[in-house]
Amino acid sequence: MSYACGGHDHSLSRRQMLGLLAGATGGLLAPNVARALQSKQRQVLMIWLDGGMSQLESWDPKPGTDHGGPFRAIPTSIPGVHVSELLPHSAKRMHKLAVVRSMQTKDNSHSIGVGRMHRGDPVNRGVDYPYLGSALAKLMDKGESGLPPYVWIKPGSSGFVANHAGFLGGRYGALALGDGRPPTHLQQGVETELEQARQELRRAADARFKAGRGEADVDAWEGCYDSALKLMKRKELFDEGAVSRQDRERYGNHPLGRHLLQARRLLEAGVLYTQVTSYHWDTHADNFAMHQELMPQIDKPFAALIDDLDTRGMLDNVVVILMSEFGRTPKINQRWGRDHWPEAWSMALAGAGIKKGVVVGKTSPDGAFVDESPFDVGHLFHTVFRAVGINPDTTTYKHNGQALAIARDDMGPMQEVLA
């Protein structure tokens, strides 16, 4: 039902890892990578603008063309590079980002596109691939925080979302924080003397049982209580009262701003992978008014986040991804909207392992197609794995005795964005 606790499971996966390394199909992690990870824990923040942000109103403006729309392009902190005037704050941080303008993906429906993008568009091997967060929860060292490795901040309800984990099994699913709130049983928990007293009794009972039998099982079950208690002790991570007024103003008092601020705090606390999802980017009608309304909600907090990660030295450890399942049609429809467009769209990366201040790929003058360096989501997965220190060419999942590639084996990383 939820993510793996410590103890038993962890040691098991370690053992499996060693077993795999000895095998012919390649290990889960090369040993030097594992060592490198231990020395510096890498983390990931995925910002997902569900529905599809328009590349023309963000990273790849085409002012003055037939499809360019009403907004101007403005200069950025990289000389000669322009973005839409709807990104004034991000424009000033452009020298810290890597923007890819040549995403070229396949599906133009949300239902297929979203899952396909989150799972890295695996070749059909008869199994459901994990979302990136579950994949990294499986493949990476979870660090010392004891916090859940995959936390998903989203509008709506809280809970444990098992199906993100695909064939890895529900334990690698996401802890979902609906509007930043923890699941109900966590909310109800109170760190009191009573709690300590009954936990002490429980631990004493477990210690006696462990001496008699079931050593691994005791460790596994104990690990779950430890994780639960650790998270209960960190309830300030879910308490918006704990953030400063300045921060709230810098990030904005709307869901996306609040959620990005919470994501920063979760990353600071040591969560391995945090995803922030914002809905309502599907602008089939009134694309321009909608983007005028929506873009500030990502621009300002995204810039604040990049600044905060940078001043805290965290941009060296954290990979930041800002993307949607696709972009929007250059052609403006009769309702002043833009429809789904997987053929040519943009996304941004920043942080650990990522080059600073580069713009990769080029679209045609009308923005309709990719002219240079087309990339699919398979390339993106390779890139993110590399950025966190995993080599997708030598790392495989093992499922039912079958070695499965962690990223499309007919693709490689976007070398141009890797530092």
Partner 1 sequence: MIALALALLCSLQETSSDADFLRRLTLDLAGTIPTSDKARAFLADPDPAKREKLVDRLLASPDYARRMEQAITVMFLERRNGGKIPDAQWSDYLKKAFTANEPWDKIVRSMIATDGRAEETRPAMKLLADGAGGDPNRMTNDVARLFLGRNLLCAQCHDHPSVKDYKQAEYMGLYAYLSQSKLQDDPKTKKAVLTETAATAKVEFASVFSPGKKHQTGPLLRGGEEIEIPAFEKGKEYEQPPAKGSPGIPKFRPRELLAAALVRHPQFARNSVNRFWFIFMGRGIIHPLDLDHKANPPSDPALLDSLTAGFVESGFDVRALVRRIVTGPQYSRGGKASPIKPLSAEQMAWSTMTATGNLERILRGPIPEGSKFTTKDYLSGKSQTPPSSLPDILKLFVAIFGNAEGEPEVGFQPSMTHALFLMNDRLVLGWLKPAEGNLVDRLSKVSAAAVADELYLGVLTRMPDAAERKEVASYLERNGKKLEAALGELAWALIASTEFRMNH
Chain positions contacting partner 1, by CB under 8 A: 1-5, 8-9, 125-127, 148, 157-160, 162-163, 165, 169-171, 173, 178, 181, 183-189, 194-195, 197-199, 201-202, 204-206, 208-210, 212-214, 217-218, 220-225, 227-228, 231, 400-403
How many CB atoms sit inside 10 A of residue 35's CB? 12
Nearer to partner 1, 181 or 284 (CB): 181
Q: What interhelical angle do 215-233 and 8-22 show, nearest 10?
A: 120
Enter the DSSP assignment of 163: G
Q: Cα Rg for the chain, rounded, in angstroms? A: 22
Q: How far is the CB of 197 from partner 1 (least distance, A)?
A: 6
The amino acid occupying position 61 is P
Q: How far is the CB of 165 from partner 1 (least distance, A)?
A: 8
Nearer to partner 1, 334 or 400 (CB): 400
Look at residue 278 and give its three-state secondary structure: strand
CA angle 340, 89, 73 (to 5 degrees): 60
Nearer to partner 1, 7 or 301 (CB): 7
Residue 122 in tokens: 């695996």
Nearer to partner 1, 88 or 183 (CB): 183
Q: How far is the CB of 401 from partner 1 (least distance, A)?
A: 4
Residue keyed to tokens 């009954």 = 198
Nearer to partner 1, 63 or 178 (CB): 178
Q: How far is the CB of 402 from partner 1 (least distance, A)?
A: 5
- Return the HEC string of 9-70: HHHHHHHHHHHHHHCCCCCCCCHHHHHHHHHCCCEEEEEEECCCCCCCCCCCCCCCCCCCCC
Q: How far is the CB of 120 from partner 1 (least distance, A)?
A: 19
Q: How far is the CB of 171 from partner 1 (least distance, A)?
A: 6
Which helix (DSSP H) or strand (DSSP E) does residue 200 occupy? helix 193-212
Nearer to partner 1, 74 or 224 (CB): 224
Q: How far is the CB of 169 from partner 1 (least distance, A)?
A: 6
The amino acid occupying position 165 is A
Nearer to partner 1, 156 or 365 (CB): 156
Contact 118, 46 (CB under 8 A): no
343 to each of 48, 105, 199, how far by Cα in Å?
A: 19, 6, 56
